[in-house]
Structure 1
């Protein structure tokens, strides 16, 4: 792990202080997420696009407890590397679809008809890699800048009685084939860079206030996304190298992706992931 982070340090910062490693902190914790996600699909009966809500229409859980893992690598006196992983995996079964819809992947149209049973899976994994530099540093405080990259790995999957046909074989917006049991799966990767601030202040021995804020907005080709991550809390040293942190976090990622292949529409994703509430974590530094 240290070797991996050292290589990452060199690639992100490209500076000699990266070689002056001081220590690494592993942080494990958990929080409750409030999520909302959707995908733009087509109604084959009327031939119009509409937004299918994964939580409202397909019954995926809106609230869920999520663990997380964070790594922080101190390099010299002012340089830091960050890496963390958040995971939101959900599945649900809908006994009867209220409205039919179609999704097109490459040149194949998949049709889910009203009244049918459908199993839905939506997995979202968020990986953050970042670099921080302390602009101002004193005995009891520090204030710095951060630069990072959030990458969302999105996997959607439908299984059940699903019809399939080539886009050129649509007959009046409907697939002529009879529905057959099958799985429709699609993967999307959405990278989002971010800029931010981080600060800490030791107000009592072994007690400190800490906060960070990150934001970025990007519109490029067929992808548009925004990221907001704000956290503030209190950290207490429990024993040698062990700390306990309690914080309040606002975290939001909103990504719209229009996929196309050879000018053929594949799918439009509107992924919204948000969290507002308390976070608790335990850290070990070595």
Structure 2
């Protein structure tokens, strides 16, 4: 979250010095998300890898109301710069882990015993920055193309009675009895570029139909991801530079991050699927 906010702050500061204030729009709102996230781990009792699901296995919430914020700066009539941010922060406590697992972070192997109590935190922030160009304009309509970049900031943490050891200290794939209360605080950044179309149509004075569609798929080194973002809605002027928007949104990001490590134990490979299908509500102010 702090990385995303820092990115927003630095960018807004630079833009504010280079633009006229009347061309800026700030938007805040909220929506409901549907999340599916997992991490690949090792079962020490049988020495096999399996996928640990944060929602079904560790009881993190699948559906949640989330905040969103956006900033846009328009210049030279057809051009625009935009930046937005979405937040998904969750934590839960599992009274008894149903299956043991190990993960390796750097040179340390962490092991959670079956039946043990475990507190889990998984925070995901998505920041998007990009540029838009309206290549078609009329009296009451416009159509444009956008180029941008999504960045995901993933913070995970496990807390509980968890053993820790190095790979050389493993005894039949099992760590010793040493226990520590807080074992993992890991961050991964996965960049996802995107390209899309956007447009609007004013069907009544002060009332617009608007929408956008964005897509991209990429594989760079050990990061593979895809993005689909489709939105359609209605925007109404409220007077004095205020606007209200109601939209229907389909938004999905899939990211797989593979981390190379010791062959004996599966390293913390993240498999994040972040999706939303439903209504969005927002209020914006132009100044």
TM range (shorter): over 0.9
Question: Quick one: distance in 1 between partners of 2:93 and 2:46?
Answer: 26
SS of equivalent residue, structure 1 residue 41: strand
Cross-structure match for 1:195: 195
After TM superposition, the structure 1 stretch with the greater mean CA deviation from structure 2, 106-115 or 19-28, is: 19-28
SS of equivalent residue, structure 1 residue 168: helix
Question: Quick one: distance in 1 between partners of 2:202 and 2:125?
Answer: 33
Cross-structure match for 1:164: 164
Shift of the alpha carbon at 1:8?
Answer: 6.0
Shift of the alpha carbon at 1:57?
Answer: 0.3
SS of equivalent residue, structure 2 residue 31: strand
Cross-structure match for 1:182: 182
Do the aligned partners of 1:9 and 1:81 also contact (CA within 8 Å) in 2? no
Cross-structure match for 1:282: 283
Do the aligned partners of 2:102 and 2:266 also contact (CA within 8 Å) in 1? no
Go from structure 1 to structure 2 and tell me whether the alpha carbon gap of 1:182 and 1:29 turns closer, same or farther (over 3 Å shift). closer
Cross-structure match for 1:117: 117
SS of equivalent residue, structure 1 residue 259: coil
Question: Quick one: distance in 1 between partners of 2:124 and 2:74?
Answer: 29
After TM superposition, the structure 1 stretch with the greater mean CA deviation from structure 2, 180-189 or 19-28, is: 19-28
TM-score (norm 1): 0.92
- Render the CA deviation track for 1:92-112: whole Å, top value 9, x for unaligned: 000000000000011110000
TM-score (norm 2): 0.92
- Render the CA deviation track for 1:192-240: whole Å, top value 9, x for unaligned: 0000000001111111100001100001111110001110000111112
- Render the CA deviation track for 1:248-282: whole Å, top value 9, x for unaligned: 00000000000136999632100010000000111
Do the aligned partners of 2:49 and 2:266 also contact (CA within 8 Å) in 1? no
Do the aligned partners of 1:22 and 1:74 also contact (CA within 8 Å) in 2? no
Pairing of 1:1-286 with structure 2 (within 5 A): 4-5=11-12, 7=14, 23-260=23-260, 266-286=267-287
- Render the CA deviation track for 1:58-116: whole Å, top value 9, x for unaligned: 00001110111011111110000110111100000000000000000111100000000
Shift of the alpha carbon at 1:181?
Answer: 2.5
Question: Quick one: distance in 2 between partners of 1:64 and 1:54?
Answer: 14
Question: Quick one: distance in 1 between partners of 2:21 and 2:197?
Answer: 22
Unmatched runs of 5 consecutive residues or more in structure 2? 1-7
RMSD of aligned Cα (Å) = 2.2
Question: Quick one: distance in 1 between partners of 2:123 and 2:181?
Answer: 21
Do the aligned partners of 2:42 and 2:266 also contact (CA within 8 Å) in 1? no
- Render the CA deviation track for 1:98-153: whole Å, top value 9, x for unaligned: 00000001111000000000000000000000100001111111100000000000
* Matched residues, number: 279
